[in-house]
A = this chain, B = another copy of it.
Amino acid sequence: MSGISEKSVARLSVYRRLLEGLAGGGDAQVYSHEIARMTGHTPALVRRDLMAVGFTGSSSRGYDAAGLAKAIGTLLDGSGDQMAALVGVGNLGRALLAYFGSRHARVEVAMAFDADPRKTGRVIHGCRCYAVEQMPVRLREAGIDVGVLAVPASRAQAAADGLVDGEVRAILNFAPVRLHVPESIFVENMDMATALEKAAFFARQRPA
């Protein structure tokens, strides 16, 4: 529907962070080949990605960094705020709360859920933790549309079912399993075990 590919969205998110840094550092104008060098892509690809943004640069001066960052934001963030909920407040879950909680609150992690009664009711890294049983109701009440899954593999499908029941529309899945969810729900897998194996594999295919 959006016509814009997953890869393009991911790169635009990276461009925006870079541009905000440049604009903050007093670098007002920037060329596609500079963005390309700093993000590890080609100038042509950067320009192709920017076509979707509808922000036009100048042939002589390139792009206005602050303006382009804002235009990317309009595309990526939409109008209203978006909220996410974390499921699984273990080692990884707490690290994610700290990571996502720290200021750059593009998407707010508004609540967390855990099965362990010792964690429910507590506030961890500024985020209140509820029992998993309350998940569908609380998600719907708060109108949360992104779920972040940081539970053990064995519990991932049950937790995903809870998120679907709570009517989230996207899931960021850190569990090393493929979730079974309705077609209409977007799933982004962050499989760290696979990523490490991949790195180890390609390490071996290299000159020593």
Binding site for B on A (CB under 8 A): 1-2, 6, 9-10, 13-14, 17, 38-40, 76-78, 82, 84, 91-92, 94-96, 98-100, 104, 106-107, 145-146, 148, 167-172, 176, 178, 184-186, 188, 190-208
Chain B neighbourhood of A186, CB < 8 A: 199, 202-203, 205-206
**A204–B82 touching, CB < 8 Å:** yes
Q: Which listed residue, B2, B77, B200, touches A205 by the CB 8 Å rule?
A: B2
Q: Are A146 and B207 in contact (CB under 8 A)?
A: no
Contact A38 B94 (CB under 8 A): no
In contact, A13 and B188 (Cβ under 8 angstroms): no
Nearest B residue (CB) for A125: B91
Q: Shortest beta-carbon distance, A125 to chain B, in Å?
A: 9
> Which B residue sits closest to A181, measured CB to CB?
B40
B206 touches A184 (CB 8 A): yes
Known pairs A84-B200, A170-B206 / 9 extra A-B pairs, C-beta < 8 Å: A2-B205, A13-B198, A91-B94, A106-B200, A145-B204, A146-B203, A167-B208, A170-B202, A185-B206
CA distance A10 to B176 in the complex (A): 12
Alpha-carbon gap, A94 to B98, bound state (A): 12
Establish whether residues B170 and A76, one from each chain, have CB atoms under 8 Å apart when the complex forms.
no
Q: Can you list 8 A-B contacts with CB-CB less than 8 angstroms, sorted by A residue number?
A: A10-B194, A13-B191, A14-B178, A82-B203, A94-B95, A168-B203, A172-B199, A188-B198
- Asked whether, in the complex, the Cβ of A197 is within 8 Å of the Cβ of B76, the reply is yes
Say yes or no: A13-B95 contact (C-beta < 8 A), given A170-B202, A201-B76, A203-B145: no
**In the complex where A99-B192, A176-B17, A203-B186 touch, is A197 in contact with B94 (Cβ < 8 A)?**
no
Q: How far is the CA of A184 from the CA of B204 in the complex (A)?
A: 11
Contact status B178-A84, CB under 8 Å: no
List residues of chain B with CB within 8 A of the CB of A100.
192-193, 196
